[in-house]
Chains A and B, each alone.
Chain A
Amino acid sequence: MAIKTAIKRNTYFDSVSLMSVTGRANAVAGVDQAMIGMGTAMNKEVLQNVGMLTPEAAEAQSGDLMIVVRSASDEIAEQALVEIDELFKQKGGNESGRKMNYATIESAVAHVPGANLAIIAVAGEFASREARRALESGLHVMMFSDNVSIEDEVALKTLAHDKGLLMMGPDCGTAYIGGVGLCFANAVRAGNIGIVGASGTGSQEVAARIHDFGGGITQIIGTGGRDLNEKVGGIMMIDGINALARDPATEVIVLVSKPPAKSVQDKVLAAAAACGKPVVACLLGGSEEAVTRAGLLFGKTTKEAALKAVILGGRKEEEINKRALNLPLIAETRAKLKPEQRYIRALLCGGTLCEEVMLIAKESYDNVYSNIAKDPARKLKDVSTSIEHTFIDFGDDDFTRGRPHPMIDPSQRLARLVQEARDPSVGVIVLDFILGYGAHEDPAGVMIPALVEAKQIAAAEGRHLEILGYVLGTDLDSQSLAEQTAKLSEVGVTIASSCTNAGLLARGFVSKEN
């Protein structure tokens, strides 16, 4: 049994409050018993007789209030004292600081003047309903929830479009609106570049690169991954482009997406071409020809898209540190790997990061497998077993059903890292570490023991195992980018400066031809 004491010196509460707090204190979970009383000799004798007289209580004076808690563990007792203190605060609390809780969107809208956006992050089966109520109440919506039917998505987006509202999502993880990052977002410089992204980490990556190149952001509008699907027809991508076109602060627009359906692509590119502002389209794996034919700039990679946008935005090209690829590093690493170490294993949290790194690998290799591959022949049948070049998106449904996103809970990726390290055919393991709002407070730190273990496993078998890390973040993020990078370097992780470079380096490391 643990006993903890708090003494409130010379503090008087009326008896009604003391009795009420005592009753509630004894009901705090885990509390065996709580005693709240004045520090008189007789009350101390009572404590002594039940074995609860701590040195602090023994010191109490008759004008002091003693709070003594007995419970199973120190932690529970400490926690109970905190809760009891809270009870006292409520008792003395002033009415003007009333904090109201609202149970429905309608009542929150009625009571919170100026509310204009709802974030919906509830289980998918309830999400559409809440989003519809938000739209009907005149709110823009960012829907973080996934597992929403495409029919619901079309209905919600049509409703939003008709009302002149944004319907970001379903499955929209990133937005940056009015200077505030929403859900998963990095802290970035304000500037003149607006982003409309159908992929969350893609938008984050482009924004972080823009920031790194010295540019800045006005807004990031997320549309959710299915917006450019034929059924949805790019409703929000087009509305987003038009909104940025009307936004005086936005001078350059970047579109980020996987390649859209053909009919949708034409519509979206046409809208972008008509918007009156320069547009860089980063359609990962998409057709450059279609983009340029529409009169837009093509961003083949996220890095290239960011660079073009920053230059369009007015930065002089020669002043930008473009973070050129470190070619000597590739040769050096290649030399360290044994001939049988031929494969890339990418274990990533960011869906678009996975997409881009894989795309770059596919330019050189055919035997590329993934849990998110479109080609059934290249889709992993068993996501827990890698084949040749394997790219895992830990943020996909395979891994998130009923579990937190890997950006919050790293446990599945930790285990997989060690598993891949045991495979003698692996040359390089690629990992991403995402910083910013919504992300883990120390994503590098939680991976360190597994990274050390992975290196040791390979070393014990006489191999060099290359681990390539990419930290998606900015120098403004609350998790320090410099510290995160340093932690990884310390345990022998090679750091890539961008997602694009991570893809190029990984591909280069395991290339067996010269």
Chain B
Amino acid sequence: MPAWPAPMRAHVTMQARSGDGAFLARVNGAAFAGVVHSAFRRAVNIACLSNGELHTLVTGDLDDGPNSLVVVTEDFLAIGICQGDSVRAGGGSLAIAGKAMVNVAGAAVWRTPVPETQCAAGLLRRRLAEAEAAIWRNGTPGGFIEGMADTEVARLTTRMLHEGADGLALALGRGDTDAALAHARRLLGLGPGLTPSGDDFLTGLLAARALCRRQADLGSDAFAHGVIRLAKSATNPIAYAAIAKAARGEVRDRVARLIIALGSATAEPPSQALAQVLAIGSSSGTEIAFGVIRGLASLIDNGEWDHGHQDRH
């Protein structure tokens, strides 16, 4: 049975190119009702009324991600989508306040790609060092890299970000979950941008850890659990959604591919994947990349990097 009787009408009909498996299943299957939480040119966040989770539509030039649909269009604001629009979905399409309709028939199913192999710790260390140097060279100032605005606020923010990140990495490296959470608490919601820099950093760090830990299930990572709990009230819903998904090993495609490029045994050089991540948002990509580096390094430091699959030299 269709969930509503009247046919959906929309001014603009768009096609989803690909999407998160679970999101596609919801649009294809039972009814889904929500409201537009925030709208940008290249992304629309929809708060689902039943489970409160954020779902995202992104334009065709962006990548897949958790709870996201990639829609073949260029500008959501041009269609007139705005905060508060009602959203209904079901039966293969999603309608936004009579302004737009997204058809998902034929959309490719996306899931976060996962690394199938692991490179040697030594190689990983070398790659991480090279990648970090490249981030410093090519990254965008704003959070971890100083220089966008020379103000007291900006300088202090950058210092606090580095203090938090360094402290967090050390604590994780020695397996001290309580100390790690104390540092994470001081990173959550810290910094400029829609998703504050500290949150972006944690997203990268959590995703890297979740995708590469030997026991890649959330249940075993008390730190990841703790961050999700803290983040709920410490930052805005958009940043929270990314953190919560990352802690579960779900992260947007570009970030996952960087993690794979850095951590797998057979991967291409990571420079291309890194460039893709650095291009995210304003400085968000830069902060995420720093997080990925620190997250992977923490796994080596506390002995969670798998020594069983050494590269042959």
A and B touch in the complex (CB under 8 A): yes
Q: Closest residue to B157 on the A side, CB-wise?
A: A46
B192 touches A19 (CB 8 A): yes
What residues on A are CB-neighbors of B189 within 8 Å? Answer: 38, 40-43, 62
Chain A CB within 8 A of B122 CB = no
Enumerate chain B residues within 8 angstroms of A14, measured Cβ to Cβ. Answer: 40-43, 194, 281
Query: Which chain B residue lies CB-closest to A14?
Result: B40
* Cβ-defined partner of A63 (8 Å) among B77, B186, B237: B237
Report the minimal beta-carbon distance from A397 to chain B, rounded to whole angstroms.
50
Task: Report whether B191 and A43 are in contact in the complex, using a CB–CB cutoff of 8 Å.
Answer: yes
Mask, A15-28, CB within 8 Å of B = 1, is 11011101100100
With a CB–CB cut-off of 8 A, which chain B residues contact A43?
Answer: 157, 189-191, 196
B71 → A minimal CB distance (Å) = 16
The yes or no answer to B282 lying at the interface (CB within 8 A) is: yes
Q: What residue in chain B is nearest A91 (Cβ atoms)?
A: B41
B38 to chain A, nearest CB (A): 4
Nearest CB of chain B from residue A8's CB, rounded to whole Å: 12
Provide the residues of chain B in CB contact with A13, threshold 8 Å. 40, 194
* A22 touching B283 in the complex, CB below 8 Å, given contacts A38-B194, A40-B234, A43-B196: no
| B window 164-208: CB within 8 A of A | 186-196, 198
A43 to B37, CA, bound (A): 22
Is B15 in the interface zone, CB < 8 Å from A? no
Task: From known contacts A40-B188, A62-B234, infer whether A19 and B193 are also in contact, taking CB-CB under 8 Å.
Answer: yes
In the complex, B151 has a CB within 8 A of chain A: yes
Q: Is the CB of A40 within 8 A of B151?
A: no
The answer to whether residues A42 and B196 also contact, given A22-B149, A23-B148, A63-B236 and a CB cut-off of 8 A, is yes
**With A33-B151, A38-B236, A40-B196 known to touch, is A18 a contact of B190 (CB < 8 Å)?**
no
Q: Counting CB contacts under 8 A, is B103 at the interface?
A: no
| A contact residues, range | 20 to 34
Contact between B43 and A34, CB atoms less than 8 A apart = no
B249 within 8 A of A: no
B188 and A35 contacting across the interface, CB-CB below 8 Å:
no
Contact in complex: A50, B236 (CB < 8 Å): no
A458, chain B: closest CB distance, angstroms? 59
Chain B residues with Cβ below 8 Å from A52 are 153
A92 sits at the interface (CB 8 A): yes
* Cross-chain contact A41 with B234 (CB below 8 angstroms): yes
Interface string of A34-71 (1 = CB under 8 A from B): 11111011110011011010000000001100000000
Bound-state CA distance A94–B79 (Å) is 11
**Residues of the A chain whose Cβ atoms lie less than 8 Å from the Cβ of B83:** 10-12
Give CA–CA (A28, B37) in the complex, Å: 31
Known: A14-B43, A50-B153. A22 touches B148 (CB 8 A): yes
- A42: which of B148, B188, B194 is its contact (CB, 8 Å)? B188
Cα A26 to Cα B152 in complex, Å, equals 11
CA distance A23 to B154 in the complex (A): 11
Query: A40-B236, A50-B156 in contact; A15/B149 too (CB < 8 A)?
Result: no
- B237 and A26: CB pair below 8 A? no
Expressed in whole angstroms, the Cα–Cα distance for A427 and B137 within the complex equals: 83
Contacts of A26 in B (CB 8 A): 149-151
Tell me, rounded to whole Å, the shortest Cβ–Cβ distance linking A289 to chain B: 74
Is there a chain A Cβ closer than 8 Å to B215's Cβ? Answer: no
In angstroms, Cα B160 to Cα A50, docked, is 13
Instruction: List residues of chain B with CB within 8 A of the CB of A36.
Output: 192
Please tell me which one of the listed residues A11, A22, A41, A63 contacts residue B192 in the complex, with CB atoms under 8 A apart: A22
Interface centre among A34, A47, A63 (most CB of B within 10 A): A63
Interface centre among A42, A47, A50, A52 (most CB of B within 10 A): A42
Over the window 79-106 of chain B, the binary record of Cβ atoms lying under 8 Å from chain A Cβ atoms (1 yes, 0 no) is 0000100000000000000000000000
**Assembly CA distance A22 to B140 (angstroms):** 14
Q: Measured between alpha carbons, how far is A12 from B45 in the docked complex, in Å?
A: 10
**Which residues of chain A are near B42, meaning CB under 8 Å?**
14
Is B276 engaged at the interface, CB distance under 8 Å to the other chain?
Answer: no
Complex CA gap A2/B188 in Å reads 29
Nearest-Cβ distance from residue A53 to partner chain B, whole angstroms: 11
Do residues A37 and B193 form an inter-chain contact, with CB atoms below 8 A? yes
Contacts of B73 in A (CB 8 A): none
* A374-400 contact mask (Cβ, 8 Å, vs B): 1 or 0: 000000000000000000000000000
Is B233 among interface residues, defined by CB-CB distance under 8 A?
Answer: yes
B48 at the interface (CB under 8 A from A): no
Q: Which residue of A lies closest to B40 (CB)?
A: A14
Docked complex: A49-108 residues within 8 A CB-CB of B: 49-50, 52, 62-63, 92, 94
By the criterion CB–CB under 8 Å, are A12 and B190 in contact?
Answer: no
State the CA gap A47–B189 with chains docked (Å): 13
Nearest to B233 among chain A residues (CB) is A62
Partner of B194, one of A18, A23, A46, A47: A18
Cβ of B298 under 8 Å from chain A: no
CA distance in complex: A498, B153 (Å): 64
Q: How far is B187's CA from A62's CA once the two chains are assembled, in angstroms?
A: 14
| Neighbouring B residues of A50 by C-beta, 8 Å | 152-153, 156
Counting CB contacts under 8 A, is B235 at the interface?
A: yes
Kindly state the separation between the CA atoms of A35 and B155 in the bound complex, as whole angstroms.
12
In the complex the two chains form, is A34's CB within 8 Å of B194's CB?
A: no
Which A residues, 222 to 248, have Cβ-Cβ distances below 8 Å to chain B?
none
Q: With A12-B40, A15-B283, A41-B189 as given contacts, are A23 and B153 in contact (CB-CB < 8 Å)?
A: no
Residue of B42, B196, B198, B237 with most chain A CB atoms under a 10 A cut-off: B196
A62 touches B151 (CB 8 A): no
A12 and B38 contact, CB distance less than 8 A: yes
**Distance in angstroms between the alpha carbons of A38 and B234 in the assembled complex:** 11
Q: Which residues of B contact A92 (CB under 8 A)?
A: 77
Query: Which residues of chain B are within 8 angstroms of A11 by Cβ–Cβ distance?
Result: 83
Which residue of the partner chain A has the closest CB to B82?
A92
Q: Is B295 interfacial (CB-CB < 8 Å)? A: no
**CA of A18 to CA of B83, assembled, Å:** 18
Cα A41 to Cα B186 with chains together (Å) = 9
A16 touches B281 (CB 8 A): yes
B238: Cβ under 8 A from any A Cβ: yes
Contacts of B152 in A (CB 8 A): 33, 50
Q: Does B284 contact A (CB under 8 A)?
A: yes
Are B234 and A42 touching (Cβ within 8 A)?
Answer: yes
The complex places the Cα of A205 from the Cα of B153 at a distance, in Å, of 61
B142 at the A/B interface (Cβ < 8 Å)? yes
Check if B153 sits within 8 Å of A15, measured CB to CB.
Answer: no
B39 surroundings in chain A (CB, below 8 A): 12
Binding site for A on B (CB under 8 A): 37-43, 45, 77-78, 83, 142, 148-153, 156-157, 160, 186-196, 198, 233-239, 281-284
Offer 14 A-B interface pairs, CB within 8 angstroms, sorted by A: A12-B40, A12-B194, A14-B42, A15-B281, A26-B149, A34-B151, A37-B191, A37-B192, A38-B193, A42-B186, A43-B157, A46-B153, A46-B190, A62-B234
The 10 closest A-B pairs by CB, nearest first: A40-B189, A42-B190, A12-B38, A33-B151, A15-B193, A19-B282, A15-B282, A15-B281, A35-B153, A14-B40
